[in-house]
């Protein structure tokens, strides 16, 4: 314990920006990549009695700080730690003379999230376990198109509203999942596939309607889910059949346009190991990033105790995508623990698989969240009887919970 505390303390050493004492209307943060716990700015007003500095995160105002004619140091604390590239500082009223800006890289643990589904939130033990152990939620099915627009132009938001409201009442940030997902697209879109213009309109209307409706409460969206096949080919779905690969960019454009400050993700299954799917995804998201249309990439990680990437492999994957300037997240992890060995052995191995993934995320500053696909074994989407999650069917914590928690708060790279 002592050892990692000391290492964490060493990491606290602030990165100092070589900002010359200069007038500034807009300031750049000293770190462009990774998350930051806090920043401090030493500055004074120039040209008026009192200048204001606005601090925005993801395009939304976080705080306003006043500076008079004398040098003053102001510290701005973030909780949760935002991705540094999302933080913008600007002087208003008059200019600021800035002596230095320092930023402390994230030292807090990576946030742990879970999938949530409406049918379970009424269960007291489910709700309590979720609130006490998870810092964010992903809607498991309620925001998918087959549920939100089961018939053309007929939107149904009752379930999504209730679930998003439930999360908001507990101050749990919501990841919106997923605006465009071939598998859970209603059949009527497939019937439109001979008419590309019609499908394009369907796609735009759907995305715009959801992103606008939940704008305040859902700040992060999986815009497109599982577009790529195992060989790096395109998976067939109604949107692809009508529009070809272009549907992906079209989707991101519509989401960006509907809410320029929401965080937009591409989410994929089975791309955590270096393989043709990962390569195709890398090329695709690189192109979207170059066009300013995407903010992050999610790796689902539905794995088992018998396969799944090692710490080194996953870390390399996360670093590869982070190098594009994207956030990366583990978005749907579960670890199937079926096998012939003794149950305790399998649960110990499961803990190890979760911990390896957690350490890999912790080691990469751009890895901003770690989400598991469900609260407890009996609510898992996998077949009944499987035990892939962090709590057992009586909501008792499994070895994997403690192992993952430690991994997510370990010093990066340990």
Q: Which residues are the active-site residues?
A: 226, 332
How close are the terminal C-alpha atoms of the chain, in Å? 12
Give the closest residue to 35 by CA, choosing from 97, 144, 111, 124: 111
Binding site for ligand XIL (CB under 6 A): 140-141, 225, 269, 300, 332, 381
Q: How far is the CB of 265 from ligand XIL (least distance, A)?
A: 11
Q: How far is the CB of 398 from ligand XIL (least distance, A)?
A: 19
The DSSP bridge partners found for residue 328 are 297, 367
Of 31 and 116, nearer to ligand XIL (C-beta) is: 116
Q: How far is the CB of 88 from ligand XIL (least distance, A)?
A: 32
In terms of Cβ atoms closer than 10 Å to its own Cβ (0-12, 13-18, 19+), residue 229 is middle
Q: How far is the CB of 125 from ligand XIL (least distance, A)?
A: 20
Distance of CA 175 to the CA centre of its chain: 7
Of 295 and 332, nearer to ligand XIL (C-beta) is: 332
Which of helix, strand or coil describes residue 105?
A: strand
Extract the tokens encoding 117.
Answer: 């589904």
Of 84 and 330, nearer to ligand XIL (C-beta) is: 330
Rounded to whole angstroms, the Cα distance separating 376 from 388 reads 8
Q: How far is the CB of 375 from ligand XIL (least distance, A)?
A: 12
Q: How far is the CB of 336 from ligand XIL (least distance, A)?
A: 13
Whether the ω angle into residue 178 lies within 30 degrees of 0, i.e. cis, is yes
The DSSP bridge partners found for residue 53 are 65, 91
Integer CA distances (angstroms), 302 to 65, 109, 149, 362, in order: 44, 22, 27, 19
Of 250 and 332, nearer to ligand XIL (C-beta) is: 332
Of 98 and 303, nearer to ligand XIL (C-beta) is: 303
Of 141 and 304, nearer to ligand XIL (C-beta) is: 141
Rounded to whole angstroms, the Cα distance separating 20 from 299 reads 40
Integer CA distances (angstroms), 142 to 61, 76, 161, 218, 388, in order: 29, 36, 9, 13, 22
Which residue's Cβ lies closest to ligand XIL? Answer: 381
């Amino acid at each position: 314990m002592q050892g990692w505390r000391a290492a964490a303390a060493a990491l606290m050493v602030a990165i100092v920006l070589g900002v010359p004492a200069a007038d500034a209307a807009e300031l750049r943060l000293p770190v462009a990549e990774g998350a930051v716990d806090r920043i401090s700015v030493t500055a004074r007003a120039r040209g008026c009695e009192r200048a204001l500095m606005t601090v925005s995160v993801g395009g939304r105002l976080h705080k306003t700080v006043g500076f008079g004619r004398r040098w003053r140091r102001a510290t701005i604390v973030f909780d949760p730690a935002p991705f540094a590239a999302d933080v913008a500082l600007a002087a208003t009223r008059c200019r600021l003379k800035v002596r230095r800006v320092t930023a402390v890289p994230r030292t807090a643990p990576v946030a742990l999230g879970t999938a949530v589904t409406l049918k379970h939130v009424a269960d007291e033990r489910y709700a309590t376990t979720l609130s006490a152990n998870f810092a964010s939620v992903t809607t498991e099915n309620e925001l998918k198109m087959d549920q939100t627009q089961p018939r053309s132009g007929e939107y149904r938001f009752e379930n999504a509203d209730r679930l998003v409201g439930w999360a908001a009442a507990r101050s749990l940030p919501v990841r919106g999942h997923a605006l465009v997902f071939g598998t859970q697209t209603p059949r009527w879109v497939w019937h439109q596939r001979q008419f590309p213009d019609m499908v394009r309109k369907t796609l735009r209307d759907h995305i715009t309607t959801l992103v606008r409706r939940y704008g305040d409460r859902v700040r992060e969206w999986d815009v497109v889910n599982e577009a790529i096949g195992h060989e790096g080919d395109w998976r067939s779905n109604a949107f692809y059949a009508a529009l070809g690969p272009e549907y992906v960019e079209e989707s991101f454009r519509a989401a960006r346009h509907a809410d320029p400050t929401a965080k937009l993700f591409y989410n994929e299954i089975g791309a955590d190991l270096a393989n043709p799917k990962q390569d195709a995804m890398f090329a695709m998201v690189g192109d979207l990033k170059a066009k300013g249309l995407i903010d992050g990439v999610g790796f689902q990680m539905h794995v088992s105790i018998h396969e799944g990437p090692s710490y080194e492999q996953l870390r390399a994957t996360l670093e590869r995508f982070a190098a594009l300037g994207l956030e990366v997240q583990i978005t749907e992890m579960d670890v199937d623990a079926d096998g012939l060995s003794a149950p305790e052995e399998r649960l110990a191995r499961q803990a190890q698989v979760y911990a390896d993934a957690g350490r890999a995320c912790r080691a990469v500053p751009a890895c901003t969240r770690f989400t598991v696909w469900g609260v407890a074994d009996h609510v898992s989407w996998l077949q009944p009887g499987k035990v892939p999650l962090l709590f057992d069917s009586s909501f008792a914590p499994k070895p994997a919970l403690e192992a993952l928690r430690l991994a997510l708060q370990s010093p990066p790279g340990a």
